[in-house]
Amino acid sequence: MKIVIVDDEQIIRNGLQEMLSLYCQDVEVTGSCGSVKDAIATINQTKPDLVLLDIRIEGGSGFDVLAALGDRMPMVIFITAYEEYAIKAFKYSAIDYLVKPIDPDELEAAIEKAAGRLPKDDHSVLLQSLQNALSAPGLPDKLVLKTQDSIHVVKIENIIYCMSDGSYTHIITTDQKIVVSKLIKEYAEILKNHHFIRIHQSYLINMNKLVKYNKEGYVHLENAISLPVAARRKEQFLQELDRFFK
């Protein structure tokens, strides 16, 4: 796999190159640069399979590189300092990212995922979803769900609930079920501001889809779905219920 590194700090570029040589097999760094202009030229010249792309670089941002290259842009793993809003956008769009300071194990895992990459057209969908999430004035209204062989872009308002299944999560919408290889706690964090609440270790529900709650400890959701509320989560659920319907 041919890789180009784009970061405005030379020390980070050097560190990434060293980590790639130590921890990642079958990779070749074909270029390393720190500006929008040099990134465009290097990517055009070396035609890498993957770009490790910092968001903040000399002459603009990583998104300027995306805009300039368009369909010629290869796979991307973004590099960023911890910026809550940007990272939230990455989670909505299912785009891979690394947070500085970069952990070698996380870099290795990201490169391994990229090696089994999706078709280029699908990656373009992810990049477009990221740009939409970043430009949204409020909370994004769509969530990208990446499965083993496809990409689903779903409206959050259509998700009824999420169910944990070990290291997988089943996302149940009004018209389909999608299984993704992420923990349910990740979706609990992403969706908490969309009125989703954890009622059980295994269940995360959309309060907008609630039909009723009975004294036996079950919630009834749209599509004739019934789920148990765990005893230890009952008080929190009832507080949320009272707050939601005020």
Q: What is the pLDDT of residues 152-181, one digit of tens each?
A: 999 999 999 999 999 999 999 999 999 999
Q: Kindly report the length of the chain.
A: 246
This model's pTM is above 0.85: no
On the question of pLDDT at 120 being above 70, the answer is no
Q: Which residues of 197-206 are buried (b: 16+ CB within 10 A; e: fewer)?
A: bbbbebbbbb
For residue 235, name the pLDDT band (cuts at 50, 70, 90): very high
User: What is 150-244's CATH number?
Assistant: 2.40.50.1020
Percentage of the chain lying above the pLDDT 70 cut: 97
Q: Which CATH class is domain 2-135?
A: alpha beta
Q: What is the pLDDT of residue 129?
A: 87
Q: What is the spatial distance between Cα 60 and Cα 190, in angstroms, rounded to a whole number?
A: 28
| CATH 3.40.50.2300 domain residues, the chain | 2-135
Q: What average pLDDT does this structure show over 78-85?
A: 79
Q: What is the pLDDT of residue 85?
A: 64
For residue 86, name the pLDDT band (cuts at 50, 70, 90): confident
Q: What is the pLDDT of residue 118?
A: 55
| CATH 2.40.50.1020 domain residues, the chain | 150-244
Contact of 190 with 184, CB cutoff 8 Å: no
Q: What is the spatial distance between Cα 98 and Cα 146, in angstroms, rounded to a whole number?
A: 18
Q: What is the pLDDT of residues 204-224, one digit of tens each?
A: 999 999 999 998 899 999 999
Q: Kindly write down the DSSP assignment for every residue of the chain, as one continuous string.
A: -EEEEE-S-HHHHHHHHHHHHHH-TT-EEEEEE-BHHHHHHHHHHH--SEEEEESEEBTEEHHHHHHHHGGG--EEEEEE---HHHHHHHHHHT--EEESSPPHHHHHHHHHHHHTPPPHHHHHHHHHHHHHHHH-SSS-SEEEEE-SS-EEEEEGGGEEEEEEETTEEEEEESS-EEEESS-HHHHHHHHGGGTEEEEETTEEEEGGGEEEE-TTSEEEETTTEEEEPPGGGHHHHHHHHHHHT-
Q: What is the pLDDT of residue 176?
A: 96
